[in-house]
Amino acid sequence: MNLEQIRLQEARRRTETMRWILLVTLNIARPAETQLGLLLSVTRGEYSDATSMEILRELDYLKGRDLITLRTDQLGTVYAKIDRYGIDIVGYAVECEPGIARPHPGV
């Protein structure tokens, strides 16, 4: 494995892990919506250099998979809320397709 492959693999791991962190955080916060700033703070517990843009990109990905809903208020603040299917993913009630670094049950 060359250096470029290692970098790509690490970037993929980071992205997929961020998605899992976001889903778990939204699941803990439910039924309330969660503000972007809180999601960024939690994600920075694992990736101290995480940015708002990264979080927005991954939230958009999760929205595209029908796992969450997003809302932006009049001031431009972004809020996220986990949907039924997202809850099922976090709760291991359904299979998780590739793209989210969900740990194996019992880990």
- Residue-wise pLDDT for 14-69, tens only, equals 999 999 999 999 999 999 999 999 999 999 999 999 999 999 999 999 999 999 99
| CA 37/CA 48 separation, integer angstroms | 14
* Eight-class DSSP state of 94: S
Q: What is the mean pLDDT of residues 81-90?
A: 97
| From 61-65, 78-82, 89-93, 103-107, the region with the lowest mean pLDDT | 103-107
| CA 82/CA 27 separation, integer angstroms | 6
pLDDT for position 24: 97
| CA 96/CA 89 separation, integer angstroms | 6
pLDDT for position 104: 86
pLDDT for position 78: 97
**Which residues have a Cβ under 8 Å from the Cβ of 72 and sit 6 or more positions away?**
78, 79
Residue 34, strand partner residues: 80
